[in-house]
Amino acid sequence: MVGHGYIQSVTNQAAQAVSESKVSGSAPDRRAIVQIQGVSKLFDDSVAVNNLTLDIYEGEFFSLLGPSGCGKTTTLRMLGGFEEPTSGRILLGGKDVTYLAPYHRDVNTVFQSYALFPHLNIFENVAFGLRRRHIAKSDVARRVGEILEIVDLPGFEKRRASQLSGGQQQRVALARALINEPTLLLLDEPMSALDAKLRHQMQIELKRIQTQVGITFLYVTHDQEEAMTMSDRLAVMRHGVIEGIGSPKDIYDSPTTEFVATFLGASNLLEGQVTESTEATTTVRVAGGAVITLPTERLPRGLSGSPVKVGVRPEKISLIASGVEVGRRNSLRGRVLVSTFTGVGNQYIIELPDETRITVYAQNIGDDTAPRSGEEAILAWPVEHTFAVVPMAGASIEAESES
């Protein structure tokens, strides 16, 4: 562990919850193509990456997600050979590449700026890596044609980069990086310069391309939608450590820390105390006296009898009429503060008796009985959609997410 007076960015409980969580993201039937073993990176006395251990498997689309300054780009740069670790090892395909120069690693990188050569046409931009390897001209022509087909740019060979849109330039940069068939492709927020509509289209395209070529992708982003849409697995980073790792569904449905629950989508979190825990279920008494039940497997280890935050996603909650039986669901009573129509649904802000506010998303299914501002409401949701997380230490989540 790195010294220099560095104070751990997560509590011991959070670290234990992450390491022992069932959301391990492991894939024992696949070969680990990237192995990051206890890697730390110091810049003077500032710790960018802290004792990071991570396996990335052959052929998977893996994303590092987190706010600015969390260490994700530094991790990518160490994998690419642009930064050297202060300590630890990096293995690529079983080979120690910790201190190898970038050109001695079977890794290519797509940067935010694309870095296309303006004086070369698209064919020569894509063929650049093959030319440096002295590949036969006939093979160069064939392979450039094949990769331009994959990125959906056939017939663009004679154009210049300045004649292409941002999305097309991105695909050229991707083709140039893929044509040498690297073991690992690193992508450093390559969609950050695109507008929202094009960015969404490129998410689908990038996942299609990765699936077709079968090369391992490591994607760095602060955009939750990008990571959720494209990734086979993702890791959420904060202060140089991983706070959650697994499939997008695992991380979204079963977060283990407050930061992960709030950074990856919206969550309603209520402060409470664990009152009883069996092998199957755990009960938590929240502020105001209500009792919430959750599956015990969703209680991070070491939190039994401790203060926790119990959570539920806004879309999991139903608003039901007074007098309707809630059954075995969790339920709370409140008053509608805000009711907003969003087209695809309605968004509600519900205030509980202790002034805690809960957000609810309801799908637009043509229901005319939606509650209005000022009306009383009963919130109900299934026990299995409830989770508990380690309360976050340090700066506020809002401040970190906006940094």
Q: What is the CATH number of domain 266-322+329-365+372-392?
A: 2.40.50.140
Write down the pTM of the prediction.
Answer: 0.85
Q: Is 44 left (phi over 0), alpha (psi -120 to 50) or beta?
A: left
User: At residue 109, what is the residue type?
Assistant: T
Tens of pLDDT, residue by residue, the chain (403 residues): 444 333 233 334 444 444 444 334 555 577 999 999 999 999 998 999 999 999 999 999 999 999 999 999 999 999 999 999 999 999 999 999 999 999 999 999 998 777 889 999 999 999 998 998 899 999 999 999 999 999 999 999 999 988 998 889 888 999 999 999 999 999 998 888 788 888 888 899 899 999 999 999 999 999 999 999 999 999 999 999 999 999 999 999 999 899 999 999 899 999 999 998 889 999 999 988 899 999 999 988 776 667 899 999 999 999 887 767 778 899 999 999 998 888 888 899 999 999 999 999 988 777 666 778 888 889 999 999 999 998 876 545 554 554 4
In whole angstroms, what is the distance from residue 171 CA to residue 64 CA?
21
In whole angstroms, what is the distance from residue 42 CA to residue 87 CA?
9
Strand order across the beta sheet in which 241-246 lies: 107-110, 184-188, 216-221, 61-65, 233-238, 241-246
In whole angstroms, what is the distance from residue 148 CA to residue 159 CA?
13
